[in-house]
Amino acid sequence: MKTAQEYIESLRKLNTRVYMFGEKLDNWVDHPMIRPSINCVAMTYACAEDPQNAELMTVTSSLTGHKINRFTHLHQSTEDLINKVKMQRLLGQKTASCFQRCVGMDSFNAVFSTTFEVDEKYGTRYHENFKKFLTMVQDEDLVVDGAMTDPKGDRSKAPHEQADPDMFLHVVERRADGIVVCGAKCHQTGSVNSHWHIFMPTISMTEADKDWAVSFACPTDAEGMYMIYGRQSCDTRKMEEDSSIDVGNAKFGGQEALVVLDHVFIPNEYIFLNGEYEFAGMMVERFAGYHRQSYGGCKVGVGDVVIGATALAAEYNGVEKASAVKDKLIEMTHLNETLYCCGIACSSQGFKTKAGNYQIDLLLANVCKQNVTRFPYEIVRLAEDVAGGLMVTMPSQKDFHSETVVGRSGETIGEICNKFFVGREGVSTEDRQRVMRFLENMCLGAAAVGYRTESMHGAGSPQAQRIMIARQGNIQGKKQFAKDIAGIR
């Protein structure tokens, strides 16, 4: 397995094409807006090196029998599914950010089981293709981005009805040795930091959409593939001098990008679906289920840090003993642990697929994600409530260190800031600064992308879960329970 440093150095060997603010980045690995997200992925390697985390972070490969990072694993039991959620919580606690490898892990398990059933019906070799690909990923301990979300264009129209066919990723040419594809994937978490991508359909499809029913693996630096880096709130603070406090979380962060494929050639050995439109919905549904389970781990770990920072803010403000503050911290904990319960529940009720790996309970996974669309918003609302207005009105880090003299007393701006923004006795103004900026980052800044908006729209927006809950909820069966007890025939 790779070390954290080996992972970072491996990125430098790639010819990944990254654009930001309208320009190509020559050294994106060390760019101050990108490096925190690389550090997050590196933590998935660092934790795997720690013997204390071995049970959660490493596992024996079902394909090779070798020791591998769990992020490259095919779940072999309900215990594996539960350990996945526990691992994600741990990494959320370590980074307070999105650590970006979950989408790849979830795509592995969805594509593995789906390709088995495609081959079963059509006699294709997609499953063998995928097993060979995943063996390489496991042996080399690679980061793979799971790419599903298309731009979609006019959402009232199917892929084949779009004015621009590129609004959904599609095959434009079929050759004896492979296919050529065009299109894009939006909101791609960790795409820039990945060695490879797995592309999947984003919706169920009909025969008319068969050219859009495509799944394959592609190296991140493939010819014709490039990425346009997404903006985050307050992101340019990372580029300012003397901003380590103002950033809020100087070491870790998330990232998203628009991934564009402009006539990219995909060899046959990396194709996992090619026109078998009936299986597009299966792949989407399984990936979404796994990814909705994931949120019962990663968002909970981040929530742990938000709760801790809120408690620190209360302590630094001198109000930690107030009953109202204690009650708010209890409510935050209750909401956070409820999310964790959902993640564990859908894992414990998992089952074996035809292909042999384990899938989560889809109903409970969707209930998990439905709660994730709500509870983090309430958690950060309570965090803002306890922290107070200073979280968003505090002068800059430079002001706290300014030697510019102002006023009649001859005090500097720095002295004035440190005097008037001090909290309780025994707590430095800088420590109070740090916890306030961290909470600002989580509630409103760059980290709010991963903790708030991603909680709403990642792995499908709220209505997507409600559709699945309606489909999986077995209302007819529940009606029969009532009829049986009430004596209705």
Annotated active-site residue in 229, 277, 295, 340: 295
Please say if 73 is a catalytic residue. no
The SS3 assignment for 185 reads strand
189 catalytic? Reply is yes
Q: Which DSSP string do the residues of 126-179 spell out, in sequence order? A: HHHHHHHHHHHHHHHT--EEEE-----SSTTS-GGG-SSGGGS-EEEEEETTEE
The distance from CA 223 to its chain's CA centroid, rounded to whole angstroms, is 26
**Cα–Cα distance list, 242 to 68, 364, 415 (Å):** 40, 46, 17
d(C-alpha 80, C-alpha 344), whole Å: 11
Closest by CA position to 134, among listed 145, 142, 125 = 142
Q: Which of 47, 218, 234, 298 is flagged as catalytic?
A: 298
Q: For residue 98, report the phi and psi dihedrals to the nearest 5 degrees.
A: -80, 125
Is 454 noted as a catalytic residue in this protein?
A: yes
The tokens of 83 are what? 């350990």
CA 391/CA 385 separation, integer angstroms: 10
- Active-site option among 44, 189, 220, 310: 189
Strand, helix or coil at 19? strand
Can you say whether the dihedral through the CA atoms of 255, 233, 466, 335 is positive or negative?
Answer: positive
Edge-to-edge strand list for the sheet holding 225-229: 23-24, 18-20, 225-229, 256-267, 178-189, 170-175
Q: Using an 8 Å Cβ cutoff, are 401 and 413 in contact?
A: no
Q: Which of 40, 47, 98, 417 is catalytic?
A: 98
Catalytic-role residue among 291, 340, 342, 440? 291
Catalytic residue among 31, 45, 58, 102: 102
Active site residue 102: yes
Chain-centre distance for alpha carbon 377: 17
Query: Using an 8 Å Cβ cutoff, are 37 and 100 in contact?
Result: yes
Residue 53 CB neighbours (<10 A): 17
Check if 295 is active-site: yes
Set 256, 276, 384, 440: catalytic member: 256
Q: Is 123 helix (H, G, I), strand (E, B) or coil?
A: coil
10 alpha carbon, distance to own chain's centre: 21
Q: List b or e across 181-192, with b for residues whose CB sees 16 or more CB atoms inside 10 angstroms.
A: bbbbbbbbbbbb
Number of H helices, E strands in the chain: 18, 14
Which residue has tokens 């990494």?
A: 91
Q: In Å, what is the CA distance from 56 to each residue of 83, 272, 325, 348?
A: 6, 29, 34, 16
- Active-site annotation, residues: 98, 102, 189, 256, 291, 295, 298, 454
